[in-house]
Structure 1
Amino acid sequence: MTASRVDLHVKILDENVVERAKSQGVDVLVYAPHFVRLPDIRERAARFSDDELLVVPAREVFTGSWKHRRHVLAVGLKEPVPDFIPLEAAMREFDRQGAAALVPHPEFLNVGLSGDDIYRFRDRIDAVEVWNPKHWPHHNSRAREITDEADLPAFTSSYAHIRTSVGEAWTTFETAIDSASDLVSALKDEVPRKVVHESGVGHKLRCAAEFAHLGWENSYGKIDRLLLSGMEPTHPDHIAYEDRFDGVY
């Protein structure tokens, strides 16, 4: 039976990332950087896709306000969706476009959907992440508990912000995935899959490095976003969205 190894969420993409993914046996990489508009993500994903590795563009949308943001990963968007719109509005838009809606790192810090959120939107959610390298063991246990209680399919990803993390975790689908639409179908049709991650000392060190990166991202990185960068390119007021989301947030 043909199977596809998919790293369902990475934040970085360049030649070294592609080389790392291939060396880890990854067939499909889902690229979803923060605060980058969908057309730019698509362009970069296409640039780094080849016969050995399919790179699928996606958006991790920050729903709600910056202080109370909740992340949802959308795969298969046809039109751009901004950050900072209500969770209900984002889920409605994903549904309208036929995109797969995934829940990364549930209940993690102040950025993951709660169990209540997941149960509320369970009919619109296609999978929940049950293992993440930035998680501590109790986070992974809680994520699995939430997923089981909601009776939703599971997934994992490397959630790589650092190149050496790419391919540390993957979801193996029992089907061939040769296009973005194949991946969306596999997610929406609940194709059988296995959630897998590496182990050993090196793996633990790479996970620790990812967690340490979280400190930078939420200190200087956040200050840079809030004070130095001006309006985010994915803000709903940005001209790129042509007033489509006026009055939504």
Structure 2
Amino acid sequence: MNNMAEKPEAGKFFPEQMMLFKELVEVSTSLFLWPEDVHDRTVRNVPAGRVVVRQGGKQEGAFEIVSGTLKLSQVTEDGRQIILGFPSAGEVIGLTGGKEYRYAAETLTIARLRPVLWKAFYERLLRNHSTREKFLDWIDAQEQRAQDHIAILSLQSAVSKLATFLLSRISQQRKGTGHDGMIIDLPMTQRDIATYLAIAPETCSRAMKKLRDGATIEDAGRSDKGQLLKILNRERLSESGMDHA
């Protein structure tokens, strides 16, 4: 019982943290539109399957995703792993507050990452109003993302959860312009999707089959990133996202 109550050591679940913030130089451009002096000039090319932030690791800084998809995960005090999200291009990872990272971030695909310098960023926050406004916008976006995840978890039906997740992937991939016949790329495993949705992998598999049998989606092979799904009927997918216990 005592072992269950102990906080798990992150190193037991994740390999050593990749050090992205050594020997940084200033001046860069930014997808996030932060001032140039908060960024490293160099964009890091990171292979798939690399842990770039380790839960419990000392905070060195943050980074924005130029391209690729990552998986954010967290080990709870009772040793369970939960998945917090799958951020992609344009998003920022590592701004968690405190002295340690609260989650792990692993590349699901080849990714290009741009480091953010803590010292310069905080100094800019203190003296620059527009930077503070951008940072508040970022915080608002993170809160909305967390609320969206909670809304998915509150759904009773596994099919509704999966359909809502796929709709979110359409919006993320095509900025909300998805249509019938479009193909979405899922770089995460089905087990990852199940963990994110808080359902069993077998339940996720059955939900996926039900959407296939209903002529809502179909398999479209694989890409160099992961599984491809073709959306046959987005309206029906939206209807499936309505909760049915």
Do these two structures clear the TM 0.5 threshold for a shared fold by scoring above it? no
Higher Cα Rg: structure 1 or 2? 2
Q: TM-score, normalised by structure 1?
A: 0.28
Flag the structure with more relative contact order, 1 or 2, with Cα contacts below 8 A and sequence separation at least 6.
1
